[in-house]
Amino acid sequence: MQAFPNPGCFDMRSLIPFLTQAHRWLALLTAPVLLLIILSGLVLAFKPVVESGARPPVDVASLSRALEQADPGHKAGVMSLSSDGTRFVLSARGTGAMGEFDAQSGARVGAAGFDLFGLARNLHTNLLVGAGWLVTLTTSVTVILFLSGFLLGWRRLRNTLSGWHAGLGWLAWPLAALTPVTGLMMAFHLGTASLPYYEAGRPLPLVKVIEIASQQVDLSKLAQVRTFRGGAVMLTVQDEPRAALYLVTSAGELLRSGGPGWVRMLHEGTWAGAFSGLFTFMSTLPLLGLLLTGLLTWWRRHRLLNAAL
């Protein structure tokens, strides 16, 4: 009679070779994209630090006049105020930057300057080429790498590259896993703030949106106005300790969203100003360390194998 294996006798150690190979090759395949995501994330972590200073109050009436002067054709889709409130940058819908303007007169003060955080955000979310799907895929693989690393089990810590890799994975995993897990949750809209329902339509001009919102809420700490999905326009007001978000629909109705949500604030490091930005930066360093030690371990092993042939 043929004997069947006892399911209760399954040995997890038999999967170790497969898990090791899967862990290694998944990491190698996604390493270039993951490195770009991590490095751009480290840059973005400093945004709350740079913007943590008190913003001077915005003169909404003067800003509205300046915006009308700078954008009489109402082509702008994004207006971002500088941290000192003296200038704003306009970006046209679908065509990019229009320029930088004085917040009192609306006079052009030059072409839009280099926006390090804007570049880093575009790289972090779209790889500069609209490849958000690849960012989501790489983030998903990163979470799988953490899970497979746990399944590989505890290894003796040694003062080698592989030992440092294992030590970082086991001892720093709560910090290292924070950004990829929250990033994946954001990608699938898990734990993020829900938006109120509104009818889709054509977005109103930014100056009209500011006029409508200023009649109902305090915009003295306005930071940004940008077109949103469904024809709504979103206003970001830097209320402490976190930003308040408002939507003005195409029908002119003002809606308050639930705020960024804790998942987004944990991911972006905006839950406690400069401190949370530094915390996000420090928590991302172990993830970078895991990637680099893993790649160097593979490269050294690969070089030794080639030398032995």
Which of 120, 155, 147 is CA-nearest to residue 46?
Answer: 120
Q: Are residues 273 and 145 in the same domain?
A: yes
Identify the pLDDT of residue 2. Answer: 46
- Give the residue numbers spanning the domain of 39: 14-49+119-192+267-302
Does residue 181 lie in a domain region?
A: yes
Q: Are residues 19 and 124 in the same domain?
A: yes
- In this prediction, residue 158 carries a pLDDT of 79
Sequence-distant (6+) residues with CB within 8 A of 229 are none
229: in domain: yes
- 28 lies in the same domain as 85: no
In a domain, 94, yes or no: yes
The answer to whether residues 126 and 188 belong to one domain is: yes
205 and 242 housed in the same domain: yes
Q: What is the 3-state secondary structure (H, E, C) of 37-87?
A: HHHHHHHHCCHHHHCCCCCCCCCHHHHHHHHHHHCCCCCEEEEEECCCCCE
In this structure, are 43 and 126 located in the same domain? yes
What pLDDT, on a 0 to 100 scale, did the predictor assign at position 36?
98
What are the Cα distances from residue 58, in Å, to 63, 65, 134, 254? Answer: 8, 13, 39, 20
In this structure, is residue 40 part of a structural domain? yes
Please tell me the predicted confidence (pLDDT) of residue 169: 87
Q: How many domains does the chain have?
A: 2
φ/ψ of residue 55, rounded to 5: -85, 135
Q: Cβ distance 182 to 267 under 8 Å?
A: yes
Look up the pTM and report it. 0.80
Domain presence at residue 234: yes
| 158 in the same domain as 137 | yes
Residue 281 lies in a domain: yes
DSSP 8-state assignment for residue 237:
E
Mean pLDDT of successive 10-residue stretches along the chain, which has 309 residues: 51 77 94 97 92 81 94 91 87 70 88 76 92 96 92 76 86 92 92 80 94 94 91 86 84 85 90 90 96 93 76
Give me the pLDDT at residue 270, please.
86
Laid out side by side, the sheet with 76-81 consists of 108-110, 96-102, 87-92, 76-81, 222-227, 233-237, 244-248, 254-256
pLDDT at residue 14 in the model: 72
Same domain as 84, residue 20: no
